[in-house]
């Protein structure tokens, strides 16, 4: 059974707060898998190169889904942009037409 960290997103109104469920560990796992895939290709598995490149499209789709979900959850473009280190305008230009 997974453990839930009691950490909450700081400075977020109550209706937006959610418990963080092992996000750091999950992201680290995903990075390890992608790096391992790259190493496998590098050792001569040329057939897997196309699959590795296709992962970038999947990651872009996942980011879009995440931003759309955060907007539906009530987060502003400014809050999303701040977390990404970009302006609210840049976030809205990139993902605004999809939400």
Whether 57 maps to a domain, the answer reads yes
Q: What burial class does residue 88 get, using C-beta atoms within 10 Å of its C-beta: 0-12 exposed, 13-18 middle, 19+ buried?
A: middle
Give the Cα separation of 52 and 63 in Å (integer): 17
Q: Considering the chain, what percentage of its residues have pLDDT values greater than 70?
A: 77
* Overall domain count for the chain: 1
Q: Which pTM value belongs to this model?
A: 0.69
What mean pLDDT comes out for the span 23-37? 92
Does residue 11 sit within a domain?
Answer: no
Within a 10 A sphere around the Cβ of 41, how many other Cβ atoms? 17
Q: For residue 35, give its domain range.
A: 23-98
Which value, in Å, is the radius of gyration of the alpha carbons in the chain?
17
Q: Does residue 42 fall inside a structural domain?
A: yes
Domain-located, residue 64: yes
In a domain, 75, yes or no: yes
Q: Is residue 13 part of a domain?
A: no
pLDDT class for 8, splitting at 50, 70, 90?
A: very low
Statement: residue 10 has pLDDT above 80: no
Beta bridge partners of 19: 8
Residue 73, in any domain of the structure: yes
Q: pLDDT tens digits, residue range 40-80?
A: 999 999 999 999 999 999 999 999 999 999 999 999 999 99
């Amino acid at each position: 059974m997974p453990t839930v960290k009691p950490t909450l997103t700081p400075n977020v109104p109550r209706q937006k707060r959610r418990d963080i469920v092992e996000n750091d560990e999950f992201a680290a796992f995903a990075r390890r898998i992608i790096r391992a895939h790259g190493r496998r290709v590098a050792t001569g598995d040329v057939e897997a190169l196309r699959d590795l490149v296709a992962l970038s499209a999947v990651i872009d789709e996942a980011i879009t889904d995440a931003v759309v979900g955060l907007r539906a959850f009530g987060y502003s473009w400014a809050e999303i942009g701040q977390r990404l280190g970009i302006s609210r305008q840049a976030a809205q230009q990139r993902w605004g037409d999809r939400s």
